């Protein structure tokens, strides 16, 4: 297994000097995937202590990563769903807590400077081997948290019917996210900052580009500026069809790298051709294909994507989304093994 060297990943993000090896990058790994790989039930671990974070760091280092991705959510309580056996997405109306200006005022907003706990970052940092860094941020971005608080339908109608409420919510979320990122970016063990915020579905963004420019992108811009002020790149993970706003994200917000790609929307190879001179694509290998393909097919696939995305050296190998519970660990390890040969 290769020795971690975050400088190689940093070169990919900054697009100035080709790395000495092909770095790997993932947004998250599910507890099920970690459990299968490490032979320990990750769900049963005490994540308030150091031992769990040591296992988490070992998980990434043992696969040849130069960095450890980590994100912690802010303390923003949601409505408990009445049917606890039903799985409800974060944007479901079942969790809605804010529908009116009065509910906004009554909501127990945390102090912005204390909304995100820093101890997980510190515990993970203490476990890093020499040469490795954290790629760190806040779990779920301002758009996702807005849909959790107001609901997807609630937010989608409120931008037209209650714009003052929407402005108040995003102002509060922006303050929470930027204050938290400033604290995270100041940590020596953090080598790059990141934000995950799924803005779209297969054919479009959830909100119109105009509404994203009004409410969401100014927050991204401030977050990128915070990272850049301490000489750290800023990575955006965002699922969905973002074709109408890529120029905003790259030139307006100033992101350094984009993660999350799906072949049925825009293969990472197409993104590389279109935007690769301005921003670094990360990952992009189709999750469904990784789950279903044979070993020879996987190895050919890695080489075919790398032939385009890694031609100039500015790409990191990884999935288009995340390491899921249903992804065969052995298939993913084949992907990494082939990547180490490039």
Q: Give, for all 342 residues of the chain, the pLDDT tens digit.
A: 799 999 999 999 999 999 999 999 999 999 999 999 999 999 999 999 999 999 999 999 999 999 999 999 999 998 764 444 444 455 467 779 999 999 999 999 999 889 999 999 999 999 999 999 999 999 999 999 999 999 999 999 999 999 999 999 999 999 999 999 999 999 999 999 999 999 999 999 999 999 999 999 999 999 999 999 999 999 999 999 999 999 999 999 999 999 999 999 999 999 999 999 999 999 999 999 999 999 999 999 999 999 999 999 999 999 999 999 999 999 999 999 999 999
Rounded CA-CA distance 288/67 in Å is 25
CB atoms within 10 A of CB 269: 20
Report pLDDT for 93: 73
Rounded CA-CA distance 168/294 in Å is 51
Pick the CATH number of 6-340 from 3.20.20.210, 1.10.10.10, 3.20.20.190, 1.20.810.10: 3.20.20.210
Strand order in the sheet with 234-237: 67-72, 133-138, 190-196, 234-237, 257-259, 280-282
- The model's pTM is 0.96
Residue that the structure tokens 């990750």 belong to: 42
Cβ 337 vs Cβ 43: under 8 Å: no
Which residues make beta-bridge pairs with 136?
Answer: 70, 193
Rounded CA-CA distance 107/97 in Å is 8
Cβ 283 vs Cβ 316: under 8 Å: yes
Report pLDDT for 83: 43
CB atoms within 10 A of CB 92: 18
Kindly provide the residue ranges of all beta strands, DSSP E only, lying in 200-267, ordered along the sequence.
234-237, 257-259
Rounded CA-CA distance 258/235 in Å is 6
Rounded CA-CA distance 298/338 in Å is 9
Rounded CA-CA distance 195/255 in Å is 10
Report pLDDT for 86: 42
- Extents of the domains making up the chain: 6-340
The H or E element spanning position 310 is none
Cβ 120 vs Cβ 138: under 8 Å: no
């Amino acid at each position: 297994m290769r020795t971690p060297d975050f400088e190689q990943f940093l070169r990919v993000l900054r697009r100035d000097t080709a790395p000495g090896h092909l770095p790997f990058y993932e947004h998250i790994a599910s507890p099920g995937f970690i459990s299968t790989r490490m032979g320990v039930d990750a769900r049963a671990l005490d994540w308030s202590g150091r031992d769990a974070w040591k296992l988490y760091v070992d998980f990434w280092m043992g696969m040849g990563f130069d960095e450890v991705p980590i994100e912690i959510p802010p303390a923003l309580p949601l409505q408990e769903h009445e049917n606890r056996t039903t799985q409800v997405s974060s944007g479901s109306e079942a969790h809605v807590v804010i529908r009116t200006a009065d509910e906004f005022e009554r909501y127990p907003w945390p102090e912005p400077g204390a909304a995100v706990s820093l101890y997980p970052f510190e515990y993970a940092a203490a476990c890093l081997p020499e040469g490795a860094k954290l790629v760190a941020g806040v779990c779920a971005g301002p758009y996702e948290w807005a849909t959790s608080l107001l609901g997807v339908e609630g937010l989608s109608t409120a931008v037209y019917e209650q714009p003052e409420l929407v402005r108040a919510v995003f102002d509060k979320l922006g303050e929470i996210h930027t204050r938290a990122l400033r604290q995270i970016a100041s940590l020596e063990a953090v080598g790059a900052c990141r934000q995950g915020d799924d803005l779209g579905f297969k054919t479009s963004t959830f909100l119109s580009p105009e509404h994203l420019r009004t409410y969401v992108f100014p927050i991204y811009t401030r977050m990128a500026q915070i990272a850049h002020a301490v000489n750290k790149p800023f990575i955006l993970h965002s699922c969905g069809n973002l074709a109408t706003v890529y120029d905003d994200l790259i030139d307006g917000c100033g992101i350094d790298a984009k993660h999350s790609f799906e072949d049925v929307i825009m293969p990472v190879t197409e993104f590389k051709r279109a935007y690769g001179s301005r921003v670094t694509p990360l990952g992009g290998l189709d999750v469904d294909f990784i789950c279903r393909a044979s070993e020879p097919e996987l190895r050919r696939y890695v080489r075919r994507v790398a032939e385009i995305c890694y031609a100039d050296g500015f790409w990191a190998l990884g999935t288009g989304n995340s390491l899921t519970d249903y992804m065969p660990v052995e298939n993913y390890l084949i992907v990494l093994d082939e990547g180490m040969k490039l």
